[in-house]
Amino acid sequence: MQRRDFLTHAGLGALAGTAALTGCGKKDENAPAQKATASGEVIHWKLVSAAPKNFPGLGTGAENIARYINELSGGRLSVKVYGAGELVPAFETFDAVSRNTAQIGHGGGSYYWKGKHEATQYFTTVPFGLTAQEMNAWLFYGGGLELWQELYAPFNLVPMPGGNSGVQMGGWFNREIRSLADLKGLKMRIPGLGGEVLTRVGVTAVNLPGAELFMALQNGTIDAAEWVAPYNDLAFGFHKVAKYYYAPGWHEPGSTVEAFINKQALDGLPPDLRHIVLNACKLANADMLAEYTARNHASLETLLNQHGVPVRRFPDDVLTALRNTTLQVMEEIAARDPFSRRVHDSLMGFLEQVRGWTDISELAYLIARDGLPGTKGDNA
């Protein structure tokens, strides 16, 4: 699979001029109907999502992938979406697609599969790591995708970026965080490397599906939880059961939502349909980041102005301690096996290179546009 042939392969090239592609999957009602195949046969696939059906961003991202495939294939490949729990539970999507119970999985982060291999965590996000733009750059132009596909090959899976939430929020807390000591003893829902980092500073990190978080916060099973950002957090109503909302999302600065495809099912498709499936994931990846960027601010305004949510920034000494602990945790993971070392060195090496540009481009511009950080108060 070539990383840089997006919409250039002959299979998609024939479709690139159609309204199905230029309209991001919207059907042109004036276009002539297309037959499924020469024999009229339609290939049917299942897509299992780790998110609830049609949940904003994460759930609709799965629907978008199915829609892009259905429309770009002219109906030759039909994909039906199952939300979390409809066909398999959220945390069983990996195994379901590996076994070919479903042909595509979507809606979660690769860090959920650290029990398969610790290096999986790097392909969603790492604390204080790459932003969404930088993550896409590493995956498609820095060797990240090749490493990810190598890691998933023994599981009969082909992974692809299928979305990105951008920088997330730091989470909902029922205790104000004034210092590192205020984190000690908290029981918090947080997956991935962020959970390991917080464990080192005295937090009990637990992993729960998103659909269980509201009740867990409400009944005191957990004291804090991170989910995504205002767009999703408002939809789940966390402001009703948690007092404080913290930023920044140090643990998830640019979280790739993965899609993974059963390898045998993908290999069994005609070449043009294979490219349609892979590039449908790329379309969904770009679309989701745009959606979160557009929707998060309106949702934040609702939380601030209609619900009076106090938004706080983690103190500098807390962020410094978490950053230092992150470096220790990541180095320990890299030292445990050769493949984790390869992934770690690839991502961190890319970060060191790309920050030379982003610091004098995006960071410098945002400071020039908006002023120095911290000059607008807690609820800025």
Mean pLDDT of 17-36: 35
Whether the pLDDT of residue 27 is over 60: the answer is no
For residue 245, pLDDT beyond 50: yes
Q: For residue 135, with 0-12 CB atoms within 10 Å meaning exposed, 13-18 middle and 19 or more buried, which class applies?
A: buried
pLDDT at 372: 76
Query: What's this model's pTM, rounded to 2 decimal places?
Result: 0.86
20-24, 162-166, 261-265, 333-337: lowest mean pLDDT where?
20-24
Question: Is pLDDT above 80 for 323?
Answer: yes
pLDDT at position 36: 43
Q: What is the mean pLDDT of residues 4-33?
A: 35
38-52, 204-218, 352-366: the lowest-pLDDT one: 38-52
pLDDT per residue as tens digits for the range 269-318? 999 999 999 999 999 999 999 999 999 999 999 999 999 999 999 999 99
pLDDT interval class at 2 (50, 70, 90): very low
Distance in angstroms (rounded) separating the CA atoms of residues 163 and 166: 9
Instruction: List pLDDT tens digits, range 342-378.
Output: 999 999 999 999 999 999 999 999 999 998 765 454 4
- pLDDT-wise least confident of 218-222, 252-256, 370-374: 370-374
Mean pLDDT, the chain, as a whole number? 89
Domain boundaries in the chain? Answer: 10-165+254-293
The pLDDT tens digits of the residues spanning 92-146 come to 999 999 999 999 999 889 999 999 999 999 999 999 999 999 999 999 999 999 9
**pLDDT the model gives residue 14:** 36
The CA distance from 227 to 292, in Å, is 14
Question: For the structural domain made of 10-165+254-293, what CATH number should be given?
Answer: 3.40.190.170
